[in-house]
Amino acid sequence: MGSIDEYIQRLGALSADERERVVADAMKVVGGMRWIPNPGPQTEAYYSEADELLFGGSAGGGKSDLIVGLSLTAHQRSLVLRRTNKEADKMFDRYAEIIGHENGANRNKGWQIDGKIIDIGGCQLEKDKQKRKGIPHDLKAFDELVDFTKSQYEFIITWNRSSEPGQRCRIVATTNPPTTPEGMWVIERWAPWLDPKHSKPAKSGELRWFTTIDGRDTEVDGPGPHEVDGRMVRATSRTFIQSKLEDNPDLTRTDDYAARLDSLPPELRSAYREGRFDAGLKDQPFQAIPTEWIRMAQARWEDHSPNGVPMCAIGVDASGGGEDPMTIACRYDGWFAPIIEIPGKQIPVDRPGKFAAGMVVSYRRDNAMVVVDMGGGYGGPTYEQLKENGIPCMAYKGSEGSVRRTEDGQLKFRNKRSETIWRFREALDPSQPGGSPIFLPPDPMLLADLATPTFKMESGELRIEPKEDVCERLGRSTDRGDAVVMAWSAGPTYLTDGAAWAQHHQDSLPMHRSPEVIMSRQPRTRR
């Protein structure tokens, strides 16, 4: 039996009429399908029963072609998206290459072919998701998912439905591993497959079931029905299938493509050649906090607070209810507990401040200082409730001026937000005497929140990127990161600054017995 290349050469030697007859016979054998998946993962992905499929890994694994093939053979009305319009044009070109002509094509929209409608487009701006509102498709497909924001994806897939009897509806996304913090949400959504520290890891192709409980994406046992908020709902299935360059015969006929991937820098080679989702992220120019420092702080974290170390501070990002959650970060000196997120729908809109203050009190221990974010107008009622009840608290105003300087004394800060984020960066610096005192929970969203902001220096002044710009790039609010840096910005530190802790407790709880110290860190007198 000869190779595929040999068969192609033989076909090329035939006359036009003979080739036409061979192609016609082949189409009969495959039921007239315009595209057939490659053996292996691509075929597994094509026939996967998952409602929501992520097909990804290394570059060149046939990811984009899976989307093209599904829309041409298995679906009646498809939406195929790339993040930018320029990338969408390249997707259009791939369709033309596979189909062999542009009959029925509209460069500004997509294709109508064999009774099928294929909409192709970009989603360049966060607000562009609104253009897809209310338009049903039985296939919602995203090529290179890490380029999209979480909110774009979750908004657009809402209208995955069909009026055609018997037509299957599914969501398919393809992607390489994220190389910037903006794409980390993909790892969180498919954590059983992609997060190596997940408590219940899933195998490639394994189905898991998910639904929304208390505003959170939650894994459940089987399709259900499950009782949620007093009503019965069915869960949707989700899976991830690993793709590799070696699975794509079109790119493995020569060594050129593999050689190009092998020549990439180590962190990119791990992502694009090996398809590793735990590969190191590539820092952006002028990134405020190096990604590696955050990863180091997460790597040394343990799932319990240090024995004998009290809770020192709580960072609170309040909410007025609705879609926005309330976020709480509890700090035990340099050790941070897992981030607490209270769904916005649980917050009564008629008394959000009273509710939020009550939640803070329920989590607060050891007379910890409470730092409340006053931005957005939601923190004020929470702060006032805490003050009225005698809880030590501070109002955090990111836009407020700062009189402090960087630890080396060289630069002043543009505002309080710049100060607190840069001071947290300084605390994460592993080169300081005794190493960094910070221990962060291994939370992908927290990593993205902390690693995304950039900085600039102007006239001896250091300025961190405005929060609204960061949120626009992420497609969501940086609540987790904000709560953490606020908790570090104020309140005593027992192990790194014992005098501050002693004074705090002498002023607040004179009868309180000092806890036993078991962590060993060299003193830091400046933060």
Say whether 430 sits in a helix, a strand or coil: coil
Q: How many CB atoms lie within 10 A of CB 336?
A: 26
If we measure between CA atoms, which residue out of 355, 356, 363 comes closest to residue 338? Answer: 363
Q: What mean pLDDT do residues 420-439 have?
A: 93
Cα–Cα distance, 176 to 55 (Å, whole number): 9
DSSP states along 147-181: GS-HHHHHHHGGGB---STT---EEEEEEPPPSSG
b/e for 338-351, b at 16 or more Cβ within 10 A?
ebbbbbbeebeeee
Alpha-helical regions (H) of 334-477: 352-363, 379-388, 416-428, 444-451, 467-474
Contact 31, 232 (CB under 8 A): no
Q: Grade residue 322 by pLDDT with cuts at 50, 70 and 90.
A: confident
Render pLDDT for 234-292 as a digit per residue (tens, 0 to 9). 999 999 999 865 555 554 444 554 455 454 455 544 454 455 676 667 788 899 999 99
Per domain, the residue ranges of the chain are 1-32, 34-253, 291-508
CA 434 to chain centre: 32
Render pLDDT for 475-525 as a digit per residue (tens, 0 to 9). 889 999 999 999 999 877 655 555 554 555 555 543 333 333 333 333 343
Residue 215, sorted as left (phi over 0), alpha (psi -120 to 50) or beta, turns out to be left
Instruction: For residue 403, give Cα distances in angstroms to 13, 371, 461, 488, 526.
Output: 80, 19, 11, 18, 15
b/e for 367-398, b at 16 or more Cβ within 10 A?
bbbbbbbbbeebbebbbbbbeeeebbbbbbeb
The CATH class for the domain spanning 291-508 reads: alpha beta
The CATH class for the domain spanning 34-253 reads: alpha beta
Contact 105, 97 (CB under 8 A): no
Q: Which two tokens stand for residue 243?
A: 């793709």
Render pLDDT for 74-103 as a digit per residue (tens, 0 to 9). 999 999 999 999 999 999 999 999 888 888
Q: Grade residue 13 by pLDDT with cuts at 50, 70 and 90.
A: confident
Contact 190, 241 (CB under 8 A): no
Cα–Cα distance, 230 to 76 (Å, whole number): 36
What pTM was estimated for this model as a whole? Answer: 0.74
- What pLDDT score was predicted for residue 300? 94
Cα–Cα distance, 26 to 7 (Å, whole number): 13
Element (H, E) at 60: none
- What pLDDT score was predicted for residue 502? 55
Contact 173, 165 (CB under 8 A): no
Cα–Cα distance, 470 to 453 (Å, whole number): 6
